[in-house]
Structure 1
Amino acid sequence: MTLSVLEPAAPAAEPVVTSRVSLVGRTRAGLGDALAEIGVPEKERRMRVGQLWNWIYHYGVRDFSAMTTIGKGLRAALDERFTLDLPEVTAEQVSTDGTRKWLIRMAPTGPRDRGAEIECVYIPEVDRGTLCVSSQVGCTLTCTFCHTGTQRLVRNLTCEEIVAQLMVARDRLGDFPNRSKPDGAFVPNDGGRFVSNIVFMGMGEPLYNFDGVRDAIDVISDNEGLSLGRRRITVSTSGVVPQIGPLGHEMGTMLAISLHAVRDELRNELVPLNKKYPIAELLEACRTYPGVSNAKRITFEYVMLKGVNDSDADARDLVRLLKGIPAKINLIPFNPWPGTKYECSDWDRIERFSEIVFRAGYASPVRTPRGRDILAACGQLKSETEKLSARARLMLDQDEAAAAAAVAAE
């Protein structure tokens, strides 16, 4: 593991709550409200919102003084009331495969709030760069194979906090115009954006933060700013059935379903939400998902657990369940984490499972585990804010790395 700390963890001290708030992550309406606060006339706001939008989201500027198309008086008024600060990155870990995981501390909301922490992961590939973002601090679900599910839910992230994750990633990767990429960054270098896709597969259940996720997607997909098309945004849900239809109607993104089992009794154990919304109801919501077609297939995620859900019979039942749904099936080798009772299926078993699904006419790629060495792979994210400070975590990681090196040298 390579551990890079680009900004040291803050020392244990009382957080400073500034009277100025950041405009980063705000919707157009939110920027309009900010302009109203400082007395910008209503007839002028739409133009000014457009200017702010371009500077914040297209150019990624961090200082109002850089907004040269805006008069000095307005820039000064904005600077007096607001900032363009991003959340604090308390640690960055870089995997041997180039995956980057950021521990991000959000701004404190009160005198006793130290600032919620979440994790965000960047996965570079030959043809794309995918950012895995979080929608909640912790998780409201308790999926037994998922490390994130062992962390209690603290709260939903705001629209601004969700958008800020993309802003942090682009800032760190040099992904805004006239920025240079960081030394040693393992990222696509074909002239395009380093972050080309977003998946809501980080901490939390996105559909239990529907409004925050919807508003964030509006900001992210706006073609005058961050400009990520909705076909490049995937929202993954464990099966909050009543919100799947509204997701399609109001957000129009790609849909992914964390399925992981073909029988209700097993899925009740793996994904306890299934007790409320069983498989039959979930798949009916998928069949009627707005816009679903062979060109806009639903992705079904299926984690491969040794001796639990990986038999030939499971594969055949999976094919039967998904009949009639334009679908792709992502087979995910289980990513271990400390204390888990599960093991990853053997590779020949995964290949056999994939073959059965493929022969039935479904694309069944096996997702290559990325960032396992820094606990950044699927199902491994957990900020552990309630247990350890960022500084303590870094010390533990460094101690573990040193111990491993010592063993290797013996």
Structure 2
Amino acid sequence: MGVTLDLSRAAAGEPAQARPNLSGLTRPALAAALVSSAAVPPEKARMRAGQLWRWMHHYGVTDFDRMTDIAKETRAALAERFVVARPEVVERQVSRDGTRKWLIRTAPGIEVETVYIPDVGRAGALCVSSQVGCTLNCTFCHTGTQALVRNLTAAEIVAQVQVARDDLGEWPSPKEDRRLSNVVFMGMGEPLYNLGGVADAIDIISDNEGIALSRRRITVSTSGVVPELAALGARTQAMLAISLHATNDALRDVLVPLNKKYPIAELIAGVRAYPGLSNARRVTFEYVMLKGINDSLAEAKALVRLLAGIPAKINLIPFNPWPGSTYECSDWGTIERFAAVLNRAGYASPIRTPRGRDILAACGQLKSESEKVRASARRQAVAAPAATPDTAP
């Protein structure tokens, strides 16, 4: 059973690029595009696609003229029909702790935030977005306060990785000593409502002749779109993370409203059936710690019972505040006692160190800058005193 999302209202925001971006095409689609454009004869399409692939995804090249093992006339034909350019980086911020955040504009009105967190995973993790905005309205999440604009294309997802690697100086693609070693789909949006784009992007960034990230170092986080879990595992072989945050339906209905459609029992059954799940490929459960809401020892014990028998680890996430939120972060001692219950039950339960809070780059804080500006303007307009005949110019 498939899950569809109505994006008809966002049609005006679709990218209107005259020349397609080759960097967002899978290998088969790349070869097909070369043939259909008449830039390359069919008998040479596979070879040319392989050459382009290495230049784009191994060397990070954005100019056809630099692809020196391709004949000049072929390069000219490609440049007439296609681009391999990066999107605009509107803003780059660096936190005191080394976290980097980029605001990337991929098309007019289409902006996403992407965050690189050093010293996470093997070396450093990139948190990428799969949608502009979000439909889920999780009440503790800043991103959820921004209405959905549209799904990102595979090219727009891959571009986030490319932008980060540009900034980190990681071209050509290193095999060892990577600074960007992991990719996590934990940014803006619900990845399983854009599974096609996400899966194609994973195919591209995991290809061994390109960026070459292992699929075991790519994690997709979902709030629980249960019907798509099996397809995610079968199609991508990515690691799975579940944005859980509660152990009973009454509370999770409030924190994660998607739970009303796919309640906890159904979600856990879907997790147990996730393709490839094993002690070597554990699922990660994300649990944001909210003071007085979900942080009691009783909740910790309920979490142990809920996950019994699932190969899992549990990331405890101190709540990251954002303007307008009514939640508070649990006290550190409370979080440690909660973790101790999980540890005694045999679950690894690291407490995630908040990173990038000073630039609103921490978990649950991402939101397009254009949306922030519009919201700020609305607040100022409401707060401004109305002009009277005596004061109007």
- TM-score, normalised by the number of residues in structure 1: 0.85
Alignment of 1:381-400 (within 5 A): 381-388=366-373
Match status 1:379 vs 2:364: yes
Within 5 Å, give how 1:9-158 maps onto structure 2. 19-36=18-35, 37-107=37-107, 114-125=108-119, 127-158=122-153
Distance 1:53 1:205 in 2: 28
Letter in 2 for 1:125: D
Displacement of 1:29: 2.5
The alpha-carbon distance between structure 1 residues 227 and 206, as it changes in their structure 2 partners (threshold 3 A), is same
Q: Deviations over 1:276-330 (max 9, x none)?
A: 0000000011111111111110000000000000000000000000001000000
Separation in 1, partners of 2:173, 2:189: 34
* 1:386 CA drift (Å): 3.6
Contact 1:151/1:384 (<8 A) preserved = no
Q: Could you tell me how far apart the structure 1 residues matched to 2:312 and 2:286 are?
A: 10
Q: Report the Cα distance in structure 2 between the residues aligned to 1:152 and 1:131, rounded to whole angstroms.
A: 23
Matched-pair contact (CA < 8 Å) for 1:38–1:78: no
Distance in 2, Cα, partners of 1:384 & 1:272: 25
CA distance in 2, matches of 1:19, 1:144: 39
C-alpha separation between the residues in 1 aligned to 2:219 and 2:111?
23
State, as a whole percentage, how many aligned pairs show the same letter. 68
* 1:26–1:160 CA contact under 8 A, matched in 2: yes
The reply to whether residue 329 of structure 1 matches residue 324 of structure 2 is no
User: Structure 1's 275 and 193: CA in aligned 2 closer, same or farther, altered over 3 A?
Assistant: same
Q: Distance in 1 between matches of 2:213 and 2:18?
A: 32
Stretches of structure 1 that go unaligned for 5 or more consecutive residues are: 1-15, 108-113, 180-189, 394-410
Distance in 2, matches of 1:18 and 1:358, equals: 51
Q: Tell me, in whole angstroms, the C-alpha distance in 2 between the residues paired with 1:30 and 1:125.
A: 35
Q: Deviation at 1:21?
A: 3.5
Given that residues 160 and 216 in structure 1 are in contact (C-alpha distance below 8 angstroms), is that contact kept between their aligned partners in structure 2?
yes
Q: Offset at 1:80?
A: 1.8
Residue 60 of structure 1, CA deviation:
0.4
**Any idea what SS the aligned residue of 1:21 has?**
coil
Shift of 1:191: 5.6
Go from structure 1 to structure 2 and tell me whether the alpha carbon gap of 1:225 and 1:291 turns closer, same or farther (over 3 Å shift).
same
Runs of 4+ aligned structure 1 residues displaced above 4 Å come to: none
Equivalent residue pairs, number: 362
Q: Is the 8 A contact 1:316 1:357 kept in 2?
A: yes
Cα distance in 2 for residues equivalent to 1:46 and 1:33: 9
| Partner Cα distance (1:219, 1:195) in 2 | 16
| Other structure's SS at 2:24 match | coil
- Following superposition, the deviation at residue 18 of structure 1 comes to 5.9
Decide whether the 8 Å contact of 2:127 with 2:185 is kept in 1. Answer: yes
Alignment of 1:276-291 (within 5 A): 276-291=261-276
Match of 1:228 in 2: 213
CA distance in 2 between counterparts of 1:18 and 1:157 reads 14
Aligned-pair CA distance for 1:221 = 0.8
Q: Which residue does the alignment assign to 1:398?
A: none
The alpha carbon displacement at 1:194 in A equals 1.6
Scaled by the length of structure 2, the TM-score of the pair is 0.89
Q: CA deviation at 1:193?
A: 1.9
The one of 244, 257, 269 aligned to 1:272: 257
Instruction: Name the CA distance, whole Å, in 1 between partners of 2:304 and 2:59.
Output: 46
Distance 2:194 2:16 in 1: 25
> Match of 2:157?
162
Distance 1:164 1:92 in 2: 15
Distance 1:17 1:271, change over 3 A: closer
| CA displacement 1:160-185 (0-9 Å, x = unmatched) | 11111101111111111299xxxxxx
Aligned-residue offset at 1:387: 4.8
Q: For residues 346 and 18 of structure 1, what CA distance do their matches in structure 2 show?
A: 49
Note the C-alpha offset of 1:33: 3.2
Task: Supply the AA of the counterpart residue of 2:86.
Answer: L
For residues 33 and 73 of structure 2, the distance between their equivalents in structure 1, rounded to whole angstroms, comes to: 15
Distance between the aligned counterparts of 1:316 and 1:304, measured in 2? 15
Distance 2:189 2:296 in 1: 29
Match of 2:234 in 1: 249
Shift of 1:17: 6.6
Contact 1:357 1:363 in 2 (8 A): yes
- Structure 1 residue corresponding to 2:195, chosen from 186, 203, 210: 210
Which amino acid in structure 2 is aligned with residue 133 of structure 1?
Answer: V
2:114 maps to a residue whose letter is C
Which AA in structure 2 matches 1:35? L
1:352 to 313, 324, 337: 337
Counterpart Cα distance in 2 of 1:221 and 1:203: 21
Instruction: Indicate if the aligned counterparts of 1:301 and 1:332 stay in contact, CA closer than 8 A.
Output: yes
Contact 2:64–2:79 under 8 Å retained in 1: yes
Check conservation: 2:131, 2:189, Cα contact below 8 A: yes
Q: Quick one: which amino acid aligns to residue 65 of structure 1? A: D
Does structure 2 conserve the Cα–Cα contact (< 8 Å) formed by 1:22 and 1:86?
no
Corresponding residue number in structure 2 for 1:239: 224
Secondary structure at the aligned position of 2:366 is classed as: coil
Q: Deviations over 1:199-229 (max 9, x none)?
A: 0000000000011111111111111111011
1:405 aligned partner: none
**CA RMSD after TM alignment:** 2.0
Deviations 1:248-277 (A, max 9, x none): 111111000000001100000000000000
